[in-house]
Structure 1
Amino acid sequence: MKIKLALLMAVALALPTYAMAQEKGGVLNVATIGEPPTLDPMTSTADLVGIVTQHIFETLYTFDKKWGVTPLLAESLPEVSADGKVYTIKLRSGIKFHDGSDMTSEDVVASLNRWVKLASRGKQASGFIDSIAAADASTVTIKLKQPYAPLTSLLAFNNSAAIIIPAKKQADTMTEFVGTGPYMLKERKADQYIQLVRFKDYKPRSGESDGYGGARHQYLDEIRFVPVPDANTRVEAAVSGQYDYVDSLPVESFDKLKASKATQPLLLKPFGYPVFVFNTAEGPAKSLEIRKAIRQALNMEDMLAAAFGSKDFYALDGNIYPAPYSWSTDAGVKGNYNVADPEGAAKAAKAAGYDGKPIRILTSRQYEFHYKMAQVAAEYLKAAGFQVDMQVVDWATLTQRRTDKALWDIYITHSPFLPEPALIGSLAPSSPGWWDTPARKTTVDAFSAEADPKKRIALWADVQKAIYADAPFMKIGDFNAVAAVSTKLKGVDPAPWPYFWNASITK
C-alpha cells in the first residue's frame, strides 16, 4: 500500500557530502536518553530498546525509505493466498546467528511463537493467527483465521519486535542476546555503556541500502550506546563533540548546535506526536466521564508551547495523522480536542462522581518535553478541581511502572507517525492503558481485516472516531525532533529510530 510520507523526515540543514568511499574502522559513540529497561525488543515497546537492539537482532521484514515493507531475513515478500489467509514466507539462506549456528525455519517458528506469547504486538496479531509452521527448512507458513492486513507491518516493526533468535534460546526472560544482526553484544555495563562489535559472519542483503532495508554495511568496528539522562548534559556534550550522535535534544538547543564546529543539528519534521495515555482499567481514569473531563480541562496549545517554544517545532492538530498522510482524518476531533475549559471540566468531573482522589501523572525528565507538558497539564487539572500527583521517574522505571495497573492514571509518551496505524500500541488491549471496549474491537477488527487500501482509509476514520469517543489516550499535537550529528560522522540518515550499520567515522 502506498502512503504519502513525503514529509516524514527532513534534514534541518545540509550535512556534508563526501565523494570518497566511506572509511572502515573506528568506534561510534551514541548518547541516548538513558538506560534501556531490557535488551529483549520483543518484551518492550520503548523506542530506546528498539534503537539499540535493531543492530543486534533482525526481523523477517523491515521498512524501506518510503515506509514500504521490504524483506530482511525473508528472501522476499510473502506469497499470500487468494483468500488472504495463508502467508508463505521463504527464508534467506546462509544466515548465521552470533553463536555460529545457522538460521532455519525451526528458529523462525519458535521465535514467532514466542512473539505471539510475549510481545504486545504479537498478542495483537495472535487472535487472527491459526498456526505457524515450518513447511521445510527454508519456508514458514502462517495460517490466519481471517484476513489480517497489518501482519507484514507488524512483522517488520522494531518495537515489540518479531525478532528471530535460535530455537534453543527461547526462554521468556532473555539472558543470552544472540541475533543475526550486523553487530553483536560484547559488554553491557549498567548506566555506563552498551558495547556492540562487528559480527564477522554477517550476511547483508545485496543491492543498495534503502531506509532500514537493503544492504546493511559494517564500516564501524564498534558502536557504544551511552546513557546521558539529563537533556542539558546531552546538549553540552553535543556542542563539544563528545559524542558522534546525540539523540532527543530540546528544540531550544537548535541554534546552539547550528553554531557548533563539532556537530550539526538534525531535524526530523514532522517527527510524531506527544500522547497522554489513560489507565482505563483501574483508578479514577477507569471512568469514561472522568477521562473526558480531564481532556476537557486541558489546553493543548499551551502544553505544546511550553514543551517546544516556537511554532517552528510544533503544530496544533487533533488528527492522529496530519496532512498529507493518507490516513489523515478529522473524524471525532471537533469538540474533543484543545477544549481548554477547566470550569466546564470541573462541573463534568463533579457530575461523574469525582471523589478527590489524586490523578497520578507518570512522566520522565529524560524526555524534557514530556515533563514540561505534564507541568502545564497539572495546572489546568488543578484549576478544574482535580488533585494531581506528579510522579517523575527515569524512563526505564516509567516503562516498567506503566505495566502495573495499580500505579498510575496517566502516563506521558510520544510516537512517531507510524506507516501502518495498526502499529499504534494503544490499539491493543494488552498495551498499558488496556483499552478494551466494544467500539475498539468493532472498529479495529474491521480495519485490520480489510485488505483494500481505499476502504482501509475510511475504516481508519472509524477507529479515530472511537478513540475520541472512548478517550483511551489523548494526542497533544505534532512535533519536530532534534538530534545532533558529528561533522566527522557519515552515512546516517534522519530516522525516528536512528540506525548506524551504514555509518562511518572520517579520520
Structure 2
Amino acid sequence: MRLKLAFLVATALVATPSFLMAQEKGGVVNVATIGEPPTLDPMTSTADLVGIVTQHIFETLYTFNKKWDVTPLLAESLPEVSADGKTYTIKLRTGIKFHDGSDMTSEDVIASLTRWTKLASRGKQAVGFIDTISAADPTTVTIKLKQPYAPLVSLLAFNNSAAIIIPSEKQADTMTDFIGTGPYMLKERKADQYIQLVRFKDYKPRSGESDGYGGARHQYLDEIRFVPVPDPNTRVEAAISGQYDYIDSLPVESFDKVKASKATQPLLLKPFGYPVFVFNTAEGAAKSLGVRKAIRQALSMEDMLAAAFGSKDFYALDGNIYPASFTWSTDAGVKGNYNVADPEGAAKAAKAAGYDGKPIRILTSRQYEFHYKMAQVAAEYLKLAGFAVDMQVVDWATLTQRRTDKALWDIYITHSPFLPEPALIGSLAPTSPGWWDTPARKTAVDAFSAESDPKKRIELWANVQKAMYDEAPFMKIGDFNAVSAISTKLQGVDPAPWPYFWNASIKK
C-alpha cells in the first residue's frame, strides 16, 4: 500500500552531504543514541533503539525501499502468491554467509521464522494465520496460510520485533550469540559505554542502487560505534561541539542552536510520527473502559503537544491515526473523543465508572524528553479530574522491561513513526503490552488483515480506527516532527526514522 506522499513529506537537512563525491572506505563513526538498548535480539523487542542498532547486524527476508514499498533483502524476489492468497513461495538468495562463516539455507529460514512466531510480538500476531512453514529445497521456503493475510510480507520486512534470519543452531529463546548476515558484525559490547560493530568481510550486498532500506548496502566504514547518551541536554551539547558523528532524537527546541554549529547540522524528519499513551487493559485501574475514557476526556492533547514541542513548526493537533498526507487517513471515531480537555466532566465519568482513588501509574522516561513533558501536563489534568497520579520516571531500557509486566503500570508513554502498513502498529496485537484483546478488536482487525483489495482495506482500516476510539486501548496525542543531528563530515546518510549507516562514509 503506497502512501499519497513519500513517508518523509519534507526533509530539512541544513548542510546537505555531497553524494556526488566518491565515497571512500575507512574510518569510525560514533552514533549517540538515547540510551542502552535492553537487548540485541530484535525479535524480542519493539523498541526503536534495538532496531536502529541491530539492523546492521541482522537482516530479514524483505525490507522497505524509499517509497515504503516492500522490497527483497535476503529473499531473491518478492514472494509468489497463489491465486487464493494462501500460499507464499519465497526464493532465497544464494551465497549468503552468516558472521560465523556458515551458509544461509532454507533450514535457517524455517527455524528463524518458527522462532519469530514463538517469541516476537509481530510473529505472534501472524502465527494464527499460518498453517505451515516448510522448505521445497535449500533455496525455497513455502508459507501456507489458513486464510489470506495481507500484512504478512510487511511484517516479515519490519525491523521492529523483526523476523531476522539467524543460523538454525542459534535458535535459543535467549540469544547469546549475535550472529547475523548483515554488513556489520558485533565485536564488543560494553554496557553503558558502547556497542562496537565492525565490517563483515564476507558480506554479499544486493546488486543495483541503494534504495531506502533496500538495494545495495555498501560497507564504506570500518566500524560503527553506538554510544548511549541518555540525557537529552548532553546530546544537544555533544551535537553542537561535534563530539559525535550522528546524534539521535534531540529536543526540537535545540534546532536553531545546532543549526548555528560549524561541526554539526540538524536533520528534520517531517512528519515523523505520533506520541501515544498506551493503557494497560488487562490489570489495574485502566482495565475499566469507563476509567480509560474518563482519563482521555480529562486530557488536553493540545497543551501536551505545546509543552513537548513548543513551536507548531514541530507538531500538529490531529486525532486521525494517520495524517491527511497518507492513504490510510480517516477521522472515524475521532469526533468527541480527542482533545476534549474536560477535567470536570471526566471526574463525573470516573466516578460513574467506579474509579476507586488508587493512583494512575504513568510509566515514562526522560531519555525522550518530550515523553516526560507530556506526562507532566497529563498528570496535572488528571489531578484536576480527581485522579491520584503516580508518575514513574525510569530509563528507557527499564521502561521497556516494566511494560511487559501487567502488575506494574496503568499507562506507559511511547511514540511511533507513521508505518507503511497499519497492521504493523504494535497495539493491534493482543500480545503487545497493553493487551487489547476484545471481540470488537478481533472482528475489525481480522477483517482488515484478511482483505487483499487495496481500496477495501482503506475502508476496513476506518473500522479498526473506530474500534480504537470506542475501546481506548491507547491515545494518540498528535503528530510531531523529529530532530537529529549529523556531522558535516559524514556523507551518505539518508534521513530515516530508524537511521542506518551502511552507505555512510567520512569525507577525507
Task: Tell me the TM-score normalised to structure 1 length.
Answer: 0.99
Aligned pair in 2 of structure 1 residues 130, 18: CA closer, same or farther (>3 Å)?
closer
User: Corresponding residue for 2:34?
Assistant: 33
Shift of 1:3: 2.3
Distance 1:240 1:469 in 2: 48
8 Å contact from structure 1 (residues 10, 494) kept in 2: no
SS in 2 for 1:11: strand
Letter in 1 for 2:198: V
Distance (whole Å) between structure 2 residues aligned to residue 165 and residue 109 of structure 1: 10
What is the Cα deviation at residue 18 of structure 1?
A: 4.5
Q: Deviations over 1:347-384 (max 9, x none)?
A: 00011111100000000000000000000000000000
2:141 is aligned with 1:121: no
Write the distance in 2 (CA, Å) between the matches of 1:446 and 1:468: 18
- Counterpart in the other structure of 1:3: 3
Paired residues for 1:262-281 under 5 Å: 262-281=263-282
- Counterpart check, 1:229 vs 2:224: no
Rounded Cα–Cα distance in structure 2 between residues aligned with 1:4 and 1:181: 32
CA contact (8 A) 2:15 2:265 kept: no
User: Within the alignment, does 1:153 sit opposite 2:154 as a pair?
Assistant: yes
Paired AA for residue 234 in structure 1: R
The aligned residue for residue 488 of structure 1 is: 489
The residue identity in structure 1 corresponding to 2:4 is K
> Cα deviations across residues 368-420 of structure 1 (Å, max 9, x unaligned)?
00000000000000000000000000000000000000000000000000000
Rounded to whole Å, the distance in 2 between the matches of 1:391 and 1:18 is: 45
Q: Distance in 2 between matches of 1:202 and 1:57?
A: 12
Q: Which residue of 1 aligns with 2:195?
A: 194
Aligned counterpart, 1:240: 241
Residue aligning to 2:185:
184
Within a 5 Å distance, the mapping from 1:264-413 to structure 2 comes to 264-413=265-414
Identify the residue that residue 61 of structure 1 maps to in structure 2: 62
1:2 shift after superposition: 2.5
Structure 1: runs of 5 or more not aligned: none
* 1:438-460 deviations in Å (ceiling 9; x for gaps): 11000000000000000000000
Paired with 2:317 and 2:9, the residues of 1 have a C-alpha distance of 19
After TM superposition, the structure 1 = structure 2 runs for residues 157-176 of structure 1, keeping only pairs within 5 Å, are 157-176=158-177
1:136 matched to 2:137? The reply is: yes
CA distance 1:358–1:277, change in 2 (3 Å): same
TM-score (structure 2 length as normaliser): 0.99
Shift of the alpha carbon at 1:147?
0.1
CA distance 1:397–1:279, shift in 2 (3 Å):
same
Look up the equivalent residue of 2:296 and give its one-letter code.
R
Give the SS at the match of 2:30.
Answer: strand
How many Å apart are 1:5 and its aligned residue?
A: 3.2
SS in 1 for 2:134: strand
Question: What's the offset of the Cα at 1:20?
Answer: 2.2
Look up the SS of the partner of 1:356 in the other structure.
coil
- Structure 2 gap ranges (5+): none
Structure 2: distance between partners of 1:8 and 1:356: 43
The 2-side partners of 1:324 and 1:253 are apart by: 27
CA–CA separation in structure 2 for the residues paired with 1:7 and 1:452: 22
Alpha-carbon separation, structure 1, partners of 2:72 and 2:11: 26
Equivalent residue letter for 2:71: T
Deviation per residue, 1:176-201 (Å, 9 max, x gap): 00000000000000000000000000
CA distance in 2, matches of 1:496, 1:276: 20
**Contact 2:59/2:180 (<8 A) preserved:** yes
Cα shift readout 1:41-88 (whole Å, capped 9, x = no counterpart): 000000000000000000000000000000000000000000000000
Counterpart in 2 of 1:465? Answer: 466
Give yes or no for contact 1:9–1:494 (8 Å, CA) kept in 2: no
User: Residue 427 of structure 1 corresponds to which residue in structure 2?
Assistant: 428
Q: Distance in 2 between matches of 1:278 and 1:397?
A: 18
Aligned pair 1:414/2:415, yes or no? yes
Residue 208 of structure 1: aligned partner? 209
Aligned length: 507
Per-residue Cα deviation, 1:240-267 (whole angstroms, up to 9, x for no partner): 0000000000000000010000000000
Report the Cα distance in structure 1 between the residues aligned to 2:322 and 2:212, rounded to whole angstroms: 21
Residue 297 of structure 1 contacts residue 381 of structure 1 at CA under 8 Å; is this kept in 2?
yes
**Counterparts of 1:483 and 1:102 in 2: how far apart (Å)?**
37
Distance, in Å, in 2 between the alignment partners of 1:436 and 1:339 is 26
Match of 1:71 in 2: 72
1:9 touches 1:271 (CA, 8 Å); kept in 2?
no
Does structure 1 conserve the Cα–Cα contact (< 8 Å) formed by 2:7 and 2:67? no
Look up the SS of the partner of 2:77 in the other structure.
Answer: coil
Q: Distance in 2 between matches of 1:456 and 1:11?
A: 29
Is 1:250 the counterpart of 2:251? The answer is yes
Shift of 1:7: 5.5
Deviations 1:174-228 (A, max 9, x none): 0000000000000000000000000000000000000000000000000000000
Alpha-carbon contact 2:115-2:171 (below 8 Å) kept: yes
One-letter identity of the residue aligned with 1:121: R
SS in 2 for 1:400: helix
Q: State the identity as a percent.
A: 90
